[in-house]
Structure 1
Amino acid sequence: MNKNGPVIVIEDDEDDQLLLQLVFQKLNYPNKVVYFPDGQQALEFLETTPEVPFLILSDINMPKLDGFALREKLHSDAQLSLKCIPYLFFSTAVDQRMVIDAYSLSVQGFFIKQSSLAELEKTITAIMEYWKRCAAPNNF
């Protein structure tokens, strides 16, 4: 895990992207934030970039390649799994089956998108601070 690497946000809803942009700007973390509208574009980026991202915030329901399919591809790719990139779901759609399926794919978190900017800010702060303090196998 590269604590200074970019945060990858995979979100097809433009309004949700805008809210996340506002929150990340306000919180002013040094990490660059890179947005993708679907899992396929994010996968292509992750397979070709020399950068090691800090973490991935992924919506679930997206066109082309949904969050579950993307997670499965990243989890089974030996080269990408060596990068130890925390993968978190960030979705409005949630039920017990989705959470069970997410954790069976070894996601490191499942967060429900909040509708208020203040609550979204609290969640992003908690995520960023937690992962900034975590050790990963490739930190040594």
Structure 2
Amino acid sequence: MDKTGVIIIIEDDPDDQFVLEEVFKELGYSNKRIYFADGLSALDYLYRTTERPFIIISDINLPKLNGLELRKKVQTDAALSLRCIPYIYFTTAINQRVVIDAYSTSAQGFFVKPGAFEEIKETIRIMIEYWKKCAAPNNFDG
């Protein structure tokens, strides 16, 4: 986890991508943001990039490779796992089974997308501030 690193957002709804980008602009986070519409393209990026991402914010219901499947791949791949990238679910899909499945993948958080812009903004602010304060095994110098 690199606290200044890229924020990976996996969201297949263009309207939600737009809202999230507006939220990040209003909050003033300088981290570069990269959006993916499906889990497979996000996984491909993670395999190819030399960047050290800060966080992954993922929907659950995604085409090609859903959020739960993507998280399992990130978690079980030795090289990706060592990068210690926090994986947060941010989704409208909410029922007990989905939450249990999400936490069974060792997700570091599960947030339900609120409907109002200000609530989304506050939820994202809490997420990012929490992880900016967290220590990770790979964010120490020397």
* TM-score tier after normalising by the smaller chain length: over 0.9
TM-score by length of 1: 0.98
Q: Which runs of 4+ in 1 moved over 3 A?
A: none
Give the secondary-structure state (helix, strand or coil) at the position aligned to 1:64: coil
In structure 2, C-alpha distance between the alignment counterparts of 1:68 and 1:36, rounded to whole Å: 15
State whether structure 2 residue 86 is matched by structure 1 residue 93: no
1:29 corresponds in structure 2 to 29
Stretches of structure 1 lacking an aligned partner (at least 5 in a row): none
The 5 A counterparts of 1:36-51 are 36-51=36-51
Q: Provide the identity percentage.
A: 58
The 5 A counterparts of 1:112-127 are 112-127=112-127
1:67 corresponds in structure 2 to 67
How many residues align? The count is 140
Q: Post-superposition shift, 1:138?
A: 0.8
TM-score by length of 2: 0.97
Question: What amino acid does structure 1 have at the position aligned with 2:22?
Answer: L
Task: Give per-residue Cα distances to partners, 1:54-103, cap 9 Å, x unaligned.
Answer: 00000000110000110010000000010000000000011111111111
Q: Post-superposition shift, 1:104?
A: 1.0
Stretches of structure 2 lacking an aligned partner (at least 5 in a row): none
CA RMSD, 1 decimal? 0.6
